[in-house]
Structure 1
Amino acid sequence: MPKPTTDPAALELGVDRTSPVPLYYQLARQLEAAIEQGRLAPGSLLGNEIDLAARLGLSRPTVRQAIQSLVDKGLMVRRRGVGTQIVHSRGRRPLEVSSLYDELEAAGGHPATRVLRNTVEPAGPRVADALEVAEGSDVHLVERIRYAHGEPLALLRNHLLPGIVDLDTARLEATGLYRLLRGSGIALHSARQSIGARTATAEEAAGLAEAEGAALLTMERTAFDDTGRAIECGSHLYRASRHTFDFQLLAR
């Protein structure tokens, strides 16, 4: 992996003036690639727009448009008195039975967790159907906010069969749920999952540092162990400005 830098001037940037692709877009894509590939470290300052424009032989409005497009994507932020700062790369989640915590940790996202609820409650119709238990029977509910680079990324709501794993709040805030399950000897084998989108309620927006009505990605998942038993079902909300899901498609 390329060594990250906090000095954008160290990046090799350039534009092709013979290309039909707009100059601002060429610059924006190069900067975005540097962020996504880890070549431009979170927290670094982009520097003066005038200097960057002069270095590349571009107009200042062209550079400003490129930067604004990345601000709009949540990859950069303009801070008064500080300048334009790299926030972090957008989280990319492969579609596999994996933990968001593990994915963030592997990508250097410095995951952290705040537990909102950790309790036992009666299973409603949807949860009972997913976990294949009688409606009204006890199930464990865990609700958390997952952070990456110090910013809220996702609101995670999981129901589990009771008694299969120690769901101590301190342990839940120290690591990922699937890691706890694996540590308890549960072999996760497969999952049924659906992805959608909707807008944030006022309460959800407050927890995720978004505006009410902001776009959220949704994920509904039921995970099964290697015996085919339903272990947990999750209902997760992700900030669309900070997260994507990756699909691999095979031709037939």
Structure 2
Amino acid sequence: MSDWRCPVLDSLHFVLDRTSPVPLYHQLAQQLEAAIEHGSLVPGNLLGNEIDLSVRLGLSRPTVRQAIQSLVDKGLLVRRRGVGTQVVHTQVKRPLELSSLYDDLEAAGQGPTTEVLRNAAVPAAADVAAALGIAEGDEVTVLERLRRTHGRPVAFLCNYLPAGLLGLDDTRLESTGLYRMMRSAGITLHSARQTIGARSATAEEAARLDEKAGAALLTMTRTAYDDTGRAVEYGTHIYRASRYAFDFQLLVRP
């Protein structure tokens, strides 16, 4: 076995077992990913170039390249010309419960920011009207927002709210979450119906989320209700699968 020290943090150690049937590149990729996941390697940390890494680790350059490429493909590392390999971010893992994406990202130290792309009154389409329990054509407020972490897109959020539910100022929407604004307005969120899916990104979605056309996206459709049973929000959201995951806890029924 060979023990090596990461050039980024002196306290960080990795162990490569040359007698293991697990390929060395996979061992290296797994341990680098774990260091990123646990916060030992943080966005902006430089790992050096492939030649430097191969010398430090006593590995062949193709082995290091394959390990790095697997994490580049996952969106955890990026190669920068003249700089080397750099940590980009950790994947966002969100608990599957009635919570605000903004609050979850903030609690996880992901540094969320929001860009409001649309905030307008529109007539409700059939699917929106059905979800909110109103007549088709009734006025609703539509919000379209781009949520980023560490400066990179993670989700595109589209929400519909009954007209007059609460004031939706762009400045506030860019500095906090929608559910937090609802709570501040005295709206008590009680429950929601939610559907999760997956599909490929269109060219427009890929450009908006800094992905390649056809990249995997997670989708979520949610209708949220207050404590009186009134539908207060209908959302259709898309998330970068390379940067986002839902975290489930499954219980066995007695």
User: Under a length normalisation based on structure 2, what TM-score does the superposition of the two structures give?
Assistant: 0.92
Q: Partner of 2:232 in structure 1? A: 231
- Correspondence for 2:176: 175
Q: In the alignment, which residue of structure 2 is the partner of 1:102?
A: 103
Are the equivalent residues in 2 in contact too, given 1:50–1:60 (CA < 8 A)?
A: yes
SS at match of 1:127: helix
The DSSP-based 3-state class of the residue aligned with 2:229 is coil
Whether 1:244 and 2:231 are equivalent positions in the alignment is no
Gaps of 5+ in 1: none
Aligned to 1:125: 126
Letter in 1 for 2:156: L
Runs of 4 or more above 6 Å deviation: none
Cα distance change of structure 1 residues 20 and 251 upon mapping to structure 2, 3 Å threshold: farther
Say whether the 8 Å CA contact 1:6–1:41 is kept in structure 2.
no
Q: How do 1:129-208 and structure 2 match up within 5 A? A: 129-208=130-209
Distance in 2 separating the partners of 1:48 and 1:239: 27
In structure 2, how many angstroms separate the alpha carbons of the residues matched to 1:213 and 1:201? 6
Structure whose residues are more often strand by fraction: 2
Quote how far apart the aligned CAs of 1:212 are: 2.2
After TM superposition, give the deviation of residue 221 of structure 1 in Å.
0.6
| Residues 139 and 210 (structure 1), Cα distance of their counterparts in 2 relative to 1, 3 Å cut | same
1:223–1:231 CA contact under 8 A, matched in 2: yes
**Distance (Å, rounded) in 1 between the aligned partners of 2:137 and 2:193:** 23
Secondary structure at 1:174 match in 2: coil
**Post-superposition offset of 1:74:** 0.2
Contact 2:144 2:156 in 1 (8 A): yes
Provide, for residues 9-52 of structure 1, a one-character-per-residue CA deviation record: whole Å limited to 9, x for no partner: 54111112232222111111111111111111110101233343
Number of aligned residues: 248
Q: What residue in structure 1 maps to residue 61 of structure 2?
A: 60
Instruction: Give the counterpart letter for 1:94 in structure 2.
Output: P
Contact map agreement 1:141 1:159 (CA 8 A) in 2: yes
> Separation in 2 of the partners of 1:189 and 1:19?
51
What RMSD over aligned residues (CA atoms) do the two structures have, in Å? Answer: 1.6
Cα distance in 2 for residues equivalent to 1:82 and 1:187 = 49
- Structure 1 residues 6, 63: closer, same or farther in 2, change over 3 A? closer
Q: Which residue of 2 aligns with 1:34?
A: 35
Aligned-partner Cα distance in 1 for 2:102–2:89? 16
Instruction: Give the Cα separation in 1 of the matches to 2:159 and 2:168.
Output: 11
Deviation string, structure 1 residues 194-221 (Cα, Å, up to 9, x no partner): 1111122222222112222222111101
**Residue 178 of structure 2 corresponds to residue 209 of structure 1:** no
Structure 1, residues 120-164: CA drift from partner, whole Å, max 9, x if none? 111111111111111111111111111110011111000011222
Give me the whole-angstrom Cα distance separating, in 2, the residues matched to 1:188 and 1:23. Answer: 49
TM-score w.r.t. the length of structure 1 is 0.93
> For residue 83 of structure 2, what is the aligned residue in structure 1?
82
* CA apart distance, 1:84: 0.6
Alignment-derived partner of residue 25 in structure 2: 24
Give 5+ residue unaligned stretches, structure 2. Answer: 1-5
User: Separation in 1 of the partners of 2:30 and 2:170?
Assistant: 41
Matching residue of 1:112: 113
Contact 1:116 1:145 in 2 (8 A): yes
Quote the Cα distance in structure 1 between the aligned partners of 2:250 and 2:17.
32
Sequence identity (%)? 68
What displacement does 1:7 show? 1.4
